[in-house]
């Protein structure tokens, strides 16, 4: 980094943004699967730039909610509302961030009916 604060590290300090790897968990998503509605949860991982881990978690939740797979979730007024919670936010190295930032991974799992 140059003495005047220029360079990649200087730019990060100027705008206050950090690179984060975010893990989220979703619950109570209802999907029509072969004509049968089923309740599913998911684990998601994405990469975002934010000023804090909390802000990064909120941004990641918005990105995941905009995923076409989740937009197709059905709404059932008889069950708990779908929810997404932050599991973990950790700083991501520059190389990992560059290689993975456009890849949001979502793994679905069936939830037990109560």
The enclosing H or E element of 28 equals strand 18-33
Q: What are phi and psi of 112, to 5 degrees?
A: -70, 135
pLDDT in tens, 29-79: 888 777 788 889 999 999 999 999 999 999 999 999 888 878 777 666 677
pTM: 0.75
Number of domains in the chain: 1
DSSP state of 74: B
Residues contacting residue 45 through CB under 8 Å, at least 6 positions apart:
21, 22, 23, 24, 104, 105
Domain that holds residue 77: 8-109
Say if residues 56 and 32 touch (Cβ distance below 8 Å): no
Mean of per-residue pLDDT scores for the chain = 81
């Amino acid at each position: 980094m140059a003495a005047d604060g220029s360079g990649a590290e200087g730019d990060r300090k100027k705008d206050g943004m950090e690179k984060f790897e975010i893990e989220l968990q979703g619950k109570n998503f209802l999907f029509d699967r072969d004509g049968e509605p089923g309740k599913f949860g998911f684990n998601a991982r994405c990469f975002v730039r934010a000023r804090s881990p909390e802000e990064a978690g909120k941004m990641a939740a918005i990105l995941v909610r905009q995923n076409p797979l989740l937009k197709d979730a059905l709404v059932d007024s008889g069950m708990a509302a779908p929810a997404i919670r932050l599991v973990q936010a950790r700083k991501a190295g520059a190389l990992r961030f560059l290689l993975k930032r456009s890849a949001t991974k979502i793994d679905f799992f069936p939830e037990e009916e109560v």
